Each structure stands twice: as C-alpha cells, then as structure tokens.
Structure 1
Amino acid sequence: MPEFNGFPEAALDFYDDIEMDNTKTFWEAHKDVYRTAVAEPMKALTAALADEFGEAKIYRPYRDVRFAKDKTPYKTHQGAFVAKGPSTGYYVQIGAPGVRVGVGYYEASGPRLASIRDAIVEDRRGGELERIIKKMTASGWELGGDKLKTAPRGYDADHPRIDLLRHKSMTLGKSYGFDPVIHTPELIDRIRADWRAATPFVEWVRTYAKG
C-alpha cells in the first residue's frame, strides 16, 4: 500500500467539476483523476488509521438512483466509514468543500433507538452524553442528525434533554475545509487525534444502543 501524502489539489478540482458536469461523459474522461487523486489517497489514508480504529469501508462513487428524483449518477464526495456497531462509527470524506470528519450513528432500529432514548432520560447516562457533547462542541464539533419536530411518543416534552431525545440519528462532525494540512501526510495525525477525542461519544452509543 502506498503511503498517504495528502489529497492533491486535483481532488478538490475534480469534485468542483463534477458538481457542474455530473455525467458519464465527464466521468469517463476523468476517471484516472478520480483514481489517482481521490480513491488511492483515501485507501492510503484509511489504511494508515486502521491499526487503531479498524478497517474502513470506502464507499462506491456511484449514486443509487433507483428511487431518487435526482438521477445524477455520481456522488459529489468520497466517503469512508469505520463501523463500530450497527450504522455506528467513524467517518471521513473529501469533496469540493475540502475534508470533513465525523462520528455517530446515522440510523437506528426501533429497539436500538428506544434503548438510546432510555439512556438519555436517565440522569447518570444521559448526563454523561450531555457532557461529552458539550466538550466536543466547545472544541469545534457540530452536532447533527435527523430529529423529530416534537417529543417522541412516551417521553416528557419538558425533559431537560428533550433536544437529544428528539434525535433519530446523532452525529458529530468537524470540517477541515481547505486547511493546507489536507494536502500533507500530517492529515493522518489530525484525523487520528480527532477520532480519539470523539471515541467517548462512539463508545457511549455502543454501550447503550441495544437491540
């Protein structure tokens, strides 16, 4: 496996262009750029992190358009995901806006979601999650995920952690944007440090998402 030397500028240019011309004609003319500037560096990056976090799934560049109104065939970013549980783990992507990292769970079955919400309600476990999120958002992470507009059925709308209870999925993300580090091997250390900082959040979900 080649060493990771950063994502070249050509990777950002590639996604700038595909946002403007998302066609098979463009893809066929630039697939070597995708391979050398995007796919191979992503493989090298995730391989460098695998010793600590595990092997990543690198997503295919093709969109599933079978049931989508948007029929453009190619994704406008390249993502990779290290699973630590059902739909739960660490994430990194590159696209036209630069590099972004994330952690969390992007979906949960009914029993798993109920288990998470029951833990959020309880003072010790819910308070622990609240402290983890507060620490992470204070250091630049953004809390995201799909949320209900109202309180979930069976939970008190006046609960002090009602905002967390409304989540159907829960993620924390951080953008590096166009920071020069994304073009260097030091990106490995930056992501490693951020994923380590986010591990308490991942472990909380792994511990309390049952079912």
Structure 2
Amino acid sequence: MSFTGFPDEGLVFYEGLEADNTKTFWTAHRDEYESFVRAPMLALLEELSGEFGTAKVFRPYRDVRFSHDKTPYKTHQGAVVTPEGRGAGSWYVQISADGLMVSGGSWRLESDQIARYRRAVADPVQGVRLEREIDRLRAAGWDIEGDRLVRVPAGYSADDDRLELLQHKALHATRRWTPEDWLHTRDVLDRVRTSWRDLAPLNAWLADNVGATTKEPRR
C-alpha cells in the first residue's frame, strides 16, 4: 500500500473516541481505525523505513493498571523508530484529532543513562556540541521538551552555564501541526522525512554520549 495521507475519517474517528472512550464505541468503529488510521500509518512507516529503520507501532490500548484514568483506548496513534545498537535517540510520529506530531530524542532515561548524559553536558566539548544543537533546533521552530528537575542536580553548580540542560532527565524536540488539507496528502511523508532528518544530529549526540542502559529490565 502506497502512502497517500491520513484520511479525514481517521481524525473524525479520534474525535468520536475522545467523546466516547468505551469498548462499545471501539467495537462499532474499529474498522475505521484499521482503515483510516493504522493502515496509512503503516504505509507511511514503510516508506520511511529504508532511511530510518523499522518502526514499532504502538498498540491502541492504554495500560490502566497504575493510572487513575481508566479510559481503555489511546486517542492517538504513535510509532517510534530506535536504530538498533544505539541505545538512546529515537524518532517518533503521531496522528490524532489534534493533527500531526513529530519528535526525536529520548523520552525516558534510566539512572545510569542520566548520569552519562549529565557528564556529557558538563564536558567542555560535548556540552557545547549539544548546546549548539539545541539552539539550532529552537531557532528552527522545535519545542525542546523532557522531564526536568526543579533543583540543581547533585554534584553540579547552580552557576553552571548549561544548568537548564543538566536538569533534564529526558530530552526530546517536538513539532506539531494542526489539521489542514495537506494532512490528507503525501505532503505528510515529506514533512516527517524532513523533520526526522533535522533531528538526526540530536539523536547522534544521544547515541554517542548516553547509549543503552546497563540496568536489568523491570519485571
């Protein structure tokens, strides 16, 4: 299947799911999800795979075991590409009733990865490399996001020139587009591809300096 855009019916499906997030609605409209959301997402990712790698498409079901919000279904469809062997630094794309979102970086770092990240930020060479890349992304219209400490990290100074970066426990850049006619065309492919290419230096920095966690997986 060739990617031709995200049909408006997919956005309408998510509007309905936001209003009625129940198994009854999901069962009655699942064919719309499969045809107008999942199928075009898979087609988009297939066209991107040659350059970026194989994507993981997230399940539509929410994990409600430890959440106060017990609604069973996600109101967006996301997918992530994490190149094998790099450990940190991924590309993300998401479609919802709010439109298209693309992102890149790391959304969750384990304690050993955070320690390596902060050492690299404090390094006079790697810290400047990251700082310049973050400045470049901001100037290009990216939002710099990620969980952050409100305090100064232990072992670092409140006077550090890169304190804001040191406070991050995760770091990613994100760009969002509200629904417009181009969302229903192949223009989406060009925007995602161009955006992911723009995020490649950030992902490379994370791969070079943070890498994979050495902690045992949580049971």
Q: Could you say which TM-score interval applies, normalised by the shorter chain?
A: over 0.9
Query: Normalising to structure 2: TM-score of the pair?
Result: 0.93
Q: Structure 1 runs of 4+ off > 6 angstroms?
A: none
Aligned with 1:123: secondary structure? coil
| 2:39 counterpart of 1:40 | yes
The within-5 A match list for 1:171-210 is 171-210=172-211
Instruction: Report the equivalent of 1:56.
Output: 55
In the TM superposition, what is the alpha-carbon distance from 1:189 to its structure 2 partner? Answer: 1.4
Instruction: Report the equivalent of 1:116.
Output: 117
| 2:97 counterpart of 1:78 | no
Instruction: Report the equivalent of 1:12.
Output: 11
Amino acid at match of 1:183: H
In the TM superposition, what is the alpha-carbon distance from 1:87 to its structure 2 partner? Answer: 5.5
1:24-54: per-residue Cα shift (whole Å, max 9, x none)? 0000010000000000000000010000000
Whether contact under 8 Å (1:87, 1:106) holds in the other structure is no
Note the aligned Cα RMSD (angstroms). Answer: 1.1
1:141-169: per-residue Cα shift (whole Å, max 9, x none)? 10001000111111112101100100001
1:104-142: per-residue Cα shift (whole Å, max 9, x none)? 101112111111111101121111111111111111110
Whether contact under 8 Å (1:58, 1:80) holds in the other structure is yes
Aligned with 1:22: secondary structure? coil
In the TM superposition, what is the alpha-carbon distance from 1:67 to its structure 2 partner? Answer: 1.1
Structure 1: how far apart are the matches of 2:129 and 2:117?
13
Whether contact under 8 Å (2:89, 2:204) holds in the other structure is no
Give the gaps of 5 or more residues in structure 1.
Answer: none
Instruction: Report the equivalent of 1:89.
Output: 90
Instruction: Report the equivalent of 2:216.
Output: none
Q: Percent identity?
A: 43
Aligned with 1:103: secondary structure? strand
Amino acid at match of 1:178: P
Query: Normalising to structure 1: TM-score of the pair?
Result: 0.96
Equivalences, count: 210
Whether contact under 8 Å (1:11, 1:37) holds in the other structure is yes
